[in-house]
């Protein structure tokens, strides 16, 4: 499993797939994406959620572009819902991978941040995670990985993540509706 994750992340960077998760790629392909989404709405929604799960679950860069794309393709409300589903599922996968497969690597890589985070989680896991999601002091992927090292149960993690990302997801999805006028992040 660790090898598969490593290969997927390495392939993403080796084949420069990050270029597909750029504002320019989204704008360049806007007509095709809109046409496909209109013609195959259920398939487009499913593919979008799966792509978001992959990006978030593998802790790859591109969540902001994905969220803008969600709003652009599906509207602010449905886009926020699909983003929430994909981001929460992917974040939960990253949480579980961190907890059960990558514990030593995560502790070594992000050890300097673990002390305060562990202390905050031990006092009130739900409230602390909600705060980290609402006021993003740490990058999303770091919170996912570090949270896996805590004693927080998975249900609390899922609920706090799902609720905590709604405001930011909505703002970016709403902005995605204006894709033709967005020129930089």
pLDDT digits (tens, 9 = 90+) for 159-175: 999 999 999 999 999 99
pLDDT for 22-74, tens place per residue? 888 988 898 899 999 999 999 999 999 999 999 999 999 999 999 999 999 99
pLDDT of residue 180: 55
**Cβ–Cβ < 8 Å for 56, 87:** yes
Number of Cβ within 10 Å of residue 172's Cβ equals: 23
Q: Kindly tell me if the per-residue pLDDT of 90 is higher than 90.
A: yes
pLDDT of residue 160: 97
**Cβ–Cβ < 8 Å for 43, 93:** no
pLDDT of residue 59: 92
As given in the structure block, the two tokens for residue 182 are 């967005």
User: Where does the chain have alpha helices with state H?
Assistant: 2-14, 23-28, 30-39, 41-57, 63-74, 76-100, 103-123, 125-134, 140-147, 154-164, 166-176
pLDDT of residue 110: 72
Distances (CA, A) of 5 to 37, 94, 104: 29, 10, 15
Q: Tell me what the pLDDT averaged over the chain comes to.
A: 88
Q: Kindly tell me if the per-residue pLDDT of 133 is higher than 70.
A: yes
In sequence order, what are the residues at sequence separation of 6 or more whose Cβ sits closer than 8 angstroms to the Cβ of residue 79?
67, 70, 71, 72, 73, 173, 176
- Find the length of the chain: 185
pTM of the model: 0.88
Rounded mean pLDDT of 117-133? 86
Q: Kindly tell me if the per-residue pLDDT of 183 is higher than 80.
A: no
Q: Considering only CA atoms, which of 30, 73, 32 is closest in space to residue 51?
A: 73
Percentage of residues of the chain with pLDDT beyond 70: 96
Q: How confident is the model at residue 181 (pLDDT cuts 50, 70, 90)?
A: low
Q: Kindly tell me if the per-residue pLDDT of 146 is higher than 60.
A: yes
d(CA 111, CA 36): 44
Rounded mean pLDDT of 87-107? 90
Q: Considering only CA atoms, which of 179, 177, 162 is closest in space to residue 74?
A: 177
Q: Kindly tell me if the per-residue pLDDT of 105 is higher than 70.
A: yes
């Amino acid at each position: 499993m660790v090898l598969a994750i490593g290969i997927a992340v390495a392939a993403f960077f080796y084949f420069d797939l990050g270029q597909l998760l750029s504002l320019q790629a989204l704008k360049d392909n806007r007509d095709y994406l809109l046409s496909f989404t209109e013609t195959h709405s259920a398939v487009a929604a499913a593919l979008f959620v799966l792509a978001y799960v992959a990006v978030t679950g593998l802790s790859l860069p591109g969540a902001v572009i994905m969220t803008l794309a969600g709003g652009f393709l599906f509207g602010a409300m449905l886009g926020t819902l699909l983003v929430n589903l994909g981001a929460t599922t992917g974040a939960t996968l990253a949480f579980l991978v961190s907890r059960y497969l990558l514990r030593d690597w995560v502790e070594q890589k992000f050890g300097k941040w673990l002390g305060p985070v562990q202390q905050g989680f031990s006092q009130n896991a739900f409230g602390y995670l909600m705060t980290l999601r609402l006021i993003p002091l740490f990058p999303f992927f770091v919170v996912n990985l570090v949270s896996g090292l805590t004693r927080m149960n998975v249900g609390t993690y899922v609920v706090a993540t799902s609720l905590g990302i709604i405001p930011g997801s909505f703002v970016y999805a709403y902005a995605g509706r204006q894709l033709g006028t967005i020129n930089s992040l």
